Amino acid sequence: MSILTQNKLPLSSQRHFHTCPSLTIRTTRVHCLAATTTKRKTEPNQLVIEPRLVPPPPSKATGSTPPRLNDPSLQSTWSHRAWVASGCTTVLISLAKSIVGAANLHVWAEPTLAALVGYIVADLGSGVYHWGIDNYGGDSTPIFGAQIEAFQGHHKWPWTITRRQFANNLHALARAITFVVLPIDLICDDPIVLGFVSTCSGCIMFSQQFHAWAHMTKSRLPPLVAALQDLGILVSRSQHAAHHRPPYNNNYCIVSGVWNEFLDNQQVFEALEMLLFFKLGVRPRSWSEPNSDWTEETEAPSQLTPNL
C-alpha cells in the first residue's frame, strides 16, 4: 500500500500563520429581546417599538428676532386711538351717572364701597385672564389668538411693552369695554351698580398700562405712578418681576397685585389646571419645561432709546 506524500509547512511558517493579513475574524453579538425586558412577551423576529414620551411642540409666539424700535406693531394707529377714546367715554359716563345718582339720593357710602369692590374684582379678573392666555390656546385661537400670541412673545421680550405706544397697548381691552359697558350705561341708573362698573371696567381697561409701568425702572416712571406702586395701589415692579422668573406660574394679577399672594399660596390656579386636565385632557404650558420662547432676552443697546 502506497503512502501519499504530504506537503508540510516549515515550522517557521506555522508559527506565523495567524498573522496573515488576508484572514479576518469578525464577531457578531446577538441580543435576545425577551431577555432584556420584563414588560411583555414578544415572538421571535417580532419588531417591537417602544413608546416614547414626546413633549408638545413649543408654541411660537413671535418671530425669531425681537421687534425693532420703530416696529409698526408697537405704534398706535387712528383705529387704536378711536377705540381707546370710546372705552374711556363709556367708563366716564358710568362714573358720572354714578356720582349724579348718588348726589340725588344722598347716598355715598354704598357707591363708594361698590367702587372699591370693583377695583378688587378687576385685579382678580386680570389674574384669571392673564393665567388663561399664558397657559392655553395659541395664535390660531378664535377671538383671543392675537392676545395669546402677544403675551407669549412678551415673556421672551418683556421690555417691548414699555416701547408700545399708549393706544396700541390698550385698544384691545378698550374695544371689549366699549361693547360691555355701553349697554349698561344706556339701561342702568343705579349709582351702586354704576359705581362698581365704572371702577372695575376702568381698571381692567388700564391694566395693560399698569403692566407696562411694572416693567419700567423707577427713574422712568412719573412720580405719582411710582408712589402708587410703593403704596400697593398699583402692581409693583418687584412683585411682577417674580412672574418673569421660572417657573413662570405665579403673580398673574396686574392691576394692584393684591390677589397674588392668596392665589399663589392657596394654589388656586394649580387646582384649576388639574380640573381642566382631568375634564378636558388639556395640559397648561406651565407644566412643561420652559423653552426658548419663554427665556427672557434683554434689550440691546440700540433698543434703549425711548420711543417718541
Domain boundaries, the chain: 74-280
pLDDT tens track for 140-186: 888 877 778 777 767 677 778 888 899 999 999 999 999 999 999 99
Answer whether 23's CB lies under 8 Å from 111's CB.
no
Give the closest residue to 174 by CA, choosing from 89, 109, 106, 113.
Answer: 89
The model carries a pTM of 0.71
> The C-alpha cell of 197 is what?
362698573
Once rounded to an integer, what is the mean pLDDT over residues 55-84?
Answer: 69
pLDDT tens track for 26-61: 444 444 444 444 444 545 555 444 444 444 444 333
Distance CA 70, CA 153 (A): 17
Distance CA 280, CA 253 (A): 25
Residue 204's H or E segment, with its range, is helix 191-213
3-state helix vs strand vs coil in the chain, percent to 5:
60, 0, 40
Question: Among residues of the chain, what percentage have pLDDT more than 70?
Answer: 70
Once rounded to an integer, what is the mean pLDDT over residues 212-217?
Answer: 92
Give the closest residue to 234 by CA, choosing from 212, 256, 216.
Answer: 256
> The C-alpha cell of 114 is what?
361698590
